[in-house]
Amino acid sequence: MSNTSPSVVPSGAKPKPFITPQRVLVYTVLTICAVFFLFPLYIMIITSLKNIQEIQSGNIFIPTMTPTLDAWEKAWNSACTGLYCEGVKVGFWNSIKITVPSTIVSIIVASLTGYSMANWPFKFSEVFFTILLLSSFIPYVVMIYPLVIITRELGIYSTLPAVVLVHTIFGLPLLTLLFRNYFASLPQELFKAARVDGAGYWQIFFQVFAPMSVPIFTVAVILQVTGIWNDFLFGVIYAGPTNYPMTVQLNNIVNSAQGGKAYNVDMAATILTGLVPLAIYFFSGKYFVRGIAAGAVKG
Amino acid sequence: MHSVSVKNLTLKFGSAEVLKNLNLDVEEGEFIVLLGPSGCGKSTLLNCLAGLLELSEGQIHIKGKNVTWAEPSERGIGMVFQSYALYPQMTVRGNMSFGLKIAGLPKAEIAKRVERASEILQIGPLLDRKPGALSGGQRQRVAIGRALVREVDVFLFDEPLSNLDAKLRSELRVELKRLHNRLKNTMIYVTHDQIEALTLADRIAIMRGGIIQQLDAPQTIYNRPANLFVAGFIGSPAMNFIKGATVDGGKRFTFGDVSLDLAGYEGGAILDRPKAIIGLRPEHLTMVDAAIPGHTIPAVVEIDEPMGADSLVWLLAEGRQMSVRVPVEHRPAPGKLVHLRVDIAKASLFDETNELRI
Ligand SMILES: Nc1ncnc2c1ncn2[C@@H]1O[C@H](COP(=O)(O)OP(=O)(O)O)[C@@H](O)[C@H]1O
Ligand SMILES: [Mg+2]
């Protein structure tokens, strides 16, 4: 009788007020976050659509009346990096050549290692697990120089295989943990049933577990693709100038001092570089959340 | 030749001994139930039989062959799990034929076996569904089908009915019994449910702390429990235990002011034991109005619990709680003084010091 008027008979779901303190808080925080990330993107997009005179004379916050894609075309095809004027497309293809093999190799190795650790315990597998756990916390900067020497001794320093190798190695600890935890969270009886059915190591992996593991593979792909695509350091150090990934090229374009600053081209090149991870998050966000929830929580 | 034979099996997880020097011989076509409280090592024993756990010591023989080191699929066993453990991405047909495909059986043979199993289990209409689209009972049927198509000698069941609701459980229980009558395979069945054990088993192995306490036919286990643990574990409502002593050279059992005549007790030499326990099942006591010296226990009615066909009456005798099962029309009024007539031929006596049946 306290908060409903006497004429309303309580029945079914209790009506809830639309504005509650929790909602106000949640929406405020979400709005601030969205503005924080979207506002720079807005500036970049409108700037990339202007021509250089408009940029120099106009207001940075106001979109142009005569949008043009010239800057985008220039950024992709003919922006200069100091030596060459071939745009970011060279870097784009380099990044593809680095990201695709690194992602595939690291996921194959990590999923098999994680599966072995979770389901085929070997002597010292727990010790191995602990080492892996600790090694994912070591700052990778300390390994840069040793890896330079190792790749040099292998005769691959400053080549595509070198940077692929380095990305694969650095992806392994985290990915292996991810897969191990996911496979450990699958019902043990399923594994036993497959053993009784006569399935071996590979058959259980490919025919029973892998089809159930789409979410975790999706998470792994997203982590690797975005991580490797966004990488700058390893690209600069190990890839060699002809294989510089897109991030390095972008840096060279933005920093090359030829005449006045072409802000519109810089903006377009930046957006182009960020497009791949953005698209991946955009199209697979649902699976990403689902996979993280499925795999990473249980230990 | 035994169908399954476990010899001196010991299993340790680290330093914890879960199964201790366990021996078990199962005859051809026998339905053996491993019964015990949760954590007593039933599943562990079953996993050892299946080859899913490595023994610390001992051997396992199936059909006279030492399979201690053999792979699960080489042992001639099929297994059904409590959680069904169906492969979620495969259809029912795929689930049932998975093992056969791996074994490299010809397509026609696989189809024939799946056909036969699905006919036995009446899951024909479900063959093209995924497990996610099945009810619990249907899933467990499919899991049984997956064991069936292997056409093995020994079936292992690990609490196959425990995830089902009461009605389905009793239905499937009957079906399992029918299946066993039809196939005549050896079945080893793990459960913590004594009703399942009593109804299904040819012999029950009662386990506790990794040790088989008693291995006998259900009626023997029920009527002649080998020790106090078995006596208390089997039977619902539980057996009444009364502490007392045997006197007069084992002719009488006394507690408080009560003295019971032990003539007609079926067991070993009773002797004089200062610490003894008599076990009386609620269904083996009858309520009478007048005392019969040496054969009745006086008691005062506390409450009664009607259970449909009969009623469980709780009483106080010499300050001890006791229960008696009576026909529902004989329910006495609370507070009434009655006399409980003891059928000594159905009673069990235990020595309190070693808890063994006398
Ligand atoms: N993988 C394992 N590692 C360590 N201890 C285990 C493992 N599996 C089972 N145990 C222990 O062994 C005992 C018996 O377990 P189990 O056979 O599953 O019992 P239940 O009779 O309920 O099936 C329990 O105390 C359990 O904690
Ligand atoms: Mg169990």
- Distance of residue A183 Cα from the nearest chain B Cα, in angstroms: 14
- Same domain for A223 and A110? yes
Question: In chain B, how long is the greatest CA-to-CA distance?
Answer: 77
CB-closest option in B52, B73, B83 to A197: B73
- Residue A246 buriedness (CB in 10 A; 0-12 / 13-18 / 19+): buried
pLDDT digits (tens, 9 = 90+) for A16-27: 888 888 989 999
A242 CA → ligand 1 middle, Å: 59
Give the sheet arrangement for strand B16-26, strand by strand. B16-26, B4-13, B57-62, B65-66
> To the nearest whole number, what is the mean pLDDT of chain B?
94
- Same domain for B37 and B126? yes
The domain tally of chain A equals 2
* Structure confidence at residue A73 (pLDDT): 93
- Same domain for A94 and A57? no
> Does some domain include residue A2?
no
pLDDT digits (tens, 9 = 90+) for A75-113: 999 888 877 888 899 999 999 999 999 999 999 999 999
CB B188 within 8 A of CB B176: no
Q: Is B47 near ligand 1, meaning CB less than 6 Å away?
A: no
Gap between the terminal Cα atoms of chain B: 33
Minimum CA distance residue for ligand 1 atom 19: B39
Q: Which atom of ligand 1 is nearest to the CA of B14?
A: 4
- Distance of residue B308 Cα from the nearest chain A Cα, in angstroms: 37
> For the domain that residue A146 is a member of, what is the CATH number?
1.10.3720.10
Interchain proximity A189–B82, CB inside 8 Å: yes
Question: Which residue reads 């397509």 in tokens?
Answer: B107
> Does some domain include residue A162?
yes
Contacts B50 to A, Cβ<8 Å:
192, 196
B44 CA → ligand 1 middle, Å: 6
Q: How confident is the model at residue A298 (pLDDT cuts 50, 70, 90)?
A: very low
> Does some domain include residue B250?
yes
SS3 state at A231: coil
Amino acid letter, A217: F
> Does some domain include residue B95?
yes
Distant-in-sequence, close-in-space partners of B191: CB < 8 Å, separation ≥ 6: B33, B34, B35, B42, B159, B161, B162, B197
Minimum CA distance residue for ligand 1 atom 2: B13
For residue B145, CA distances in Å to A187, B74, B331 come to: 20, 19, 47
CA distance linking residue B76 with residue B128, whole number of Å: 27
* Structure confidence at residue A297 (pLDDT): 40
> Does some domain include residue A1?
no
Asked whether the predicted pLDDT for residue B37 surpasses 80, the reply is yes
Q: How confident is the model at residue B132 (pLDDT cuts 50, 70, 90)?
A: very high
* Structure confidence at residue A292 (pLDDT): 62
Asked whether the predicted pLDDT for residue A3 surpasses 60, the reply is no
The larger pLDDT score, comparing residue A276 to residue A281, is at A276
> Does some domain include residue A170?
yes
Q: Which atom of ligand 1 is nearest to the CA of B36?
A: 21
- Same domain for B228 and B245? no
CA distance linking residue B33 with residue B215, whole number of Å: 9
> To the nearest whole number, what is the mean pLDDT of chain A?
88
* Structure confidence at residue A272 (pLDDT): 93
Domain boundary among B214, B233, B252: B233
- Distance of residue B78 Cα from the nearest chain A Cα, in angstroms: 7
Residue whose C-alpha is closest to residue A14's, from A24, A4, A22, A23 = A4
Q: Is B13 near ligand 1, meaning CB less than 6 Å away?
A: yes
Amino acid letter, B89: Q
The domain tally of chain B equals 2
- Same domain for B205 and B320? no
Write down the pTM of the prediction: 0.86
- Same domain for B102 and B85? yes
> Does some domain include residue A74?
no
Domain range for residue A51? 21-68
* Structure confidence at residue A200 (pLDDT): 95
Ligand 1, from B9, B43, B45: best to mutate by most atoms within 8 Å of Cβ? B43
Q: How confident is the model at residue A137 (pLDDT cuts 50, 70, 90)?
A: confident
Is the backbone of residue A32 left (phi > 0), alpha (psi -120 to 50) or beta? alpha
- Same domain for A172 and A211? yes
The pLDDT of B40-57, averaged and rounded, is 95
- Same domain for B245 and B168? no
> Does some domain include residue B266?
yes
> Does some domain include residue A160?
yes
- Same domain for A258 and A161? yes
pLDDT digits (tens, 9 = 90+) for A204-241: 999 999 999 988 998 899 999 999 999 999 999 999 99
CA distance linking residue B203 with residue B217, whole number of Å: 4
Q: What is the CA radius of gyration of chain B?
A: 24
- Same domain for A143 and A252? yes
Name the residue of chain A whose CA is nearest to B97's CA: A197
- Same domain for B321 and B281? yes
pLDDT digits (tens, 9 = 90+) for A164-185: 999 999 999 999 999 999 999 9
Asked whether the predicted pLDDT for residue B344 surpasses 90, the reply is yes
> Does some domain include residue A147?
yes
> Does some domain include residue A216?
yes
- Same domain for A251 and A292? yes
The pLDDT of B318-323, averaged and rounded, is 91
- Same domain for B48 and B189? yes
The pLDDT of B271-298, averaged and rounded, is 94
Contacts B72 to A, Cβ<8 Å:
192, 195-196, 198
Question: In chain A, how long is the greatest CA-to-CA distance?
Answer: 86
Domain boundary among B233, B267, B282: B233
Residue whose C-alpha is closest to residue B236's, from B187, B289, B290, B199 = B199
Q: Is B44 near ligand 1, meaning CB less than 6 Å away?
A: yes
* Structure confidence at residue A299 (pLDDT): 33
Q: Is B69 near ligand 1, meaning CB less than 6 Å away?
A: no
And the tokens for B107? 């397509």
pLDDT digits (tens, 9 = 90+) for A25-54: 999 999 999 999 999 999 999 999 998 888
Q: How confident is the model at residue A5 (pLDDT cuts 50, 70, 90)?
A: low
The pLDDT of B116-144, averaged and rounded, is 94
pLDDT digits (tens, 9 = 90+) for B157-183: 999 999 999 999 999 999 999 999 999
* Structure confidence at residue A260 (pLDDT): 73
- Same domain for A52 and A158? no
The pLDDT of A256-280, averaged and rounded, is 86
B266 CA → ligand 2 middle, Å: 35
Domain boundary among B183, B204, B233: B233
Interchain proximity B99–A208, CB inside 8 Å: no
Q: Is B143 near ligand 1, meaning CB less than 6 Å away?
A: no
> For the domain that residue B289 is a member of, what is the CATH number?
2.40.50.140
* Structure confidence at residue A296 (pLDDT): 45
> Does some domain include residue B357?
no
- Distance of residue B87 Cα from the nearest chain A Cα, in angstroms: 7
- Same domain for B172 and B213? yes
> Does some domain include residue B356?
no
- Same domain for B218 and B246? no
ipTM of the complex in this document: 0.89
- Same domain for B228 and B301? no
Q: Which atom of ligand 1 is nearest to the CA of B44?
A: 17
Asked whether the predicted pLDDT for residue B337 surpasses 60, the reply is yes
Name the residue of chain A whose CA is nearest to B49's CA: A196
Q: What percent of chain B has pLDDT over 90?
A: 92
- Same domain for A160 and A273? yes
> Does some domain include residue B167?
yes
- Same domain for B270 and B224? no
Name the residue of chain A whose CA is nearest to B100's CA: A197
- Same domain for B216 and B271? no
Name the residue of chain B whose CA is nearest to A202's CA: B102
- Same domain for A208 and A119? yes
Domain range for residue B297? 240-351
